[in-house]
Amino acid sequence: MGEVNLEDVTKRYEDVTAVDNMNLEIRDSEFVCLVGPSGCGKSTTMEMIAGLTIPTEGTISIGGHEVTNLPPKDRGVAMVFQNIALFPHMDVYDNISFGLRLRKYDKEEIDRRVERASDIVQLEGMLDRMPDEMSGGQRQRVAIARAIVRNPEVFLMDEPLANLDAKLRVHMRTELQRLHKELDTTIIYVTHDQAEAMTMSDRIAVIDSGQLQQIDPPLVCYNEPSNLFVAGFIGSPAMNFVDGEVTEGGFRSEKVKVDFDPADVGATAGDDVTLGIRPEDVYTLNDAGSLANPTKEIEAITDVLEPMGDEIFVYLLLSEDATVDLDEESRGGMTDQLLMSVDPDSDISEEQDVNVVLDRTKVHLFDTETGDAISHGLAATAPTGTDSGTAAESDD
């Protein structure tokens, strides 16, 4: 069985702690993506699971057996890395079938597996090509096929699609999901691309500075990020953050006021908190008609617009005295900004006064100092009744 467990695993290189006390339980047949910024310890984690690196501390088991010190070949894993070397003097068929031939599989079985694997990665008709006659993307597909034919209990993939062009990468994502469904095999997949992780994973393990931040299904990471790091990393464009303070009335920053009872979210007046709101949960007053639970109005000026085709990203500068006549210097001095996503047929323009509201049920609060999440979504209505979206002037 292909469950993989890391228990208190740490890897240090002299004064660098690449992986810091990692505890990770990956279930049999799960597709788990390890995501995080460059240098956060994803590859080191993978190399320890593969057996290419031995942990400084902790234990690793695969299928219920401890493998911490076992060589790669005894772990039942197949690896696909971003830069994998093919045998240059062998054609594609021989490269893909190399491991099977070594293990003396019969010819019919080898042909069957090679055909299926090459079909999955779209290499039909190229089996007699030599590696130097292929593009980087094609060579990478050979490497994936070479892993597929081994029918391993666990696939380890480290940025395998990074060198492919954008179109093929999207196609390969779907293929890998199909492959996962067909083979019912555990796949551990490293990527720095959170969109790739969102679309393919059963669960995403978000890593920062060698430490696991959260491991949950993609939508849980998206809707209930455990801390500021996960909130900012998952989702593109990123969640907006506004630093402020909790008062008896709710959240207050210079420009943003959101009313709630602090006790309802487990906060206390005086706490430094960071409010998080995703671009799609910010609405202009015109578009807020369908919004059941808007916050107070926030006055803003539109800055830059980015039409994406299916939506427009609108950069907002926040100001209580918002006016399009502000000179450049004053604009630069505005600290609070929000990114908003609006419908592509919106008639919004640059340098326009616009009042926006937030969807109360999508407002996140984080402890500014520790970064830990305090709450996801506020009570539908504000306790005082002033937070109705029509009372911009009302104040505490």
* Site residues (vs ligand ADP, CB under 6 A): 13, 16, 18, 36, 38-44
Alpha-carbon torsion, ordered 260, 263, 267, 270, to 10 deg: 80
Q: Which is nearer to ligand ADP, 159 or 271 (CB)?
A: 159
The distance of closest approach from Cβ of residue 227 to ligand ADP in the complex, given in angstroms and rounded to an integer, is 18
DSSP track, 287-321: GGGG-SSB---EEEEEEEEEE-SS-EEEEEEE-TT
Cross-sheet strand order for the sheet of 373-376: 257-259, 250-252, 240-247, 272-277, 364-367, 373-376
Residue 69's alpha-carbon distances to 2, 123, 198, 237, in angstroms, are 18, 36, 32, 41
The distance of closest approach from Cβ of residue 45 to ligand ADP in the complex, given in angstroms and rounded to an integer, is 7
The distance of closest approach from Cβ of residue 13 to ligand ADP in the complex, given in angstroms and rounded to an integer, is 3
The distance of closest approach from Cβ of residue 40 to ligand ADP in the complex, given in angstroms and rounded to an integer, is 4
Q: Which is nearer to ligand ADP, 39 or 377 (CB)?
A: 39
Q: Which is nearer to ligand ADP, 162 or 220 (CB)?
A: 162
- Residue 243's DSSP bridge partners are 274
Q: Which is nearer to ligand ADP, 35 or 143 (CB)?
A: 35
Q: Which is nearer to ligand ADP, 41 or 244 (CB)?
A: 41
Please identify which residue in the block is written with the tokens 């970064």. 371
Nearest to 81 by CA among 184, 161, 186: 161
Q: Residues 6 or more apart from 250 whose CB is under 8 A from it?
A: 257, 258, 259, 260, 261, 262, 382, 387
Q: Which is nearer to ligand ADP, 206 or 378 (CB)?
A: 206
Q: Which is nearer to ligand ADP, 38 or 290 (CB)?
A: 38
| CA distance linking residue 95 with residue 90, whole number of Å | 6
Please identify which residue in the block is written with the tokens 């969807």. 359
SS3 239: coil
SS3 103: coil
The distance of closest approach from Cβ of residue 166 to ligand ADP in the complex, given in angstroms and rounded to an integer, is 21
* CB 325 within 8 Å of CB 267: no
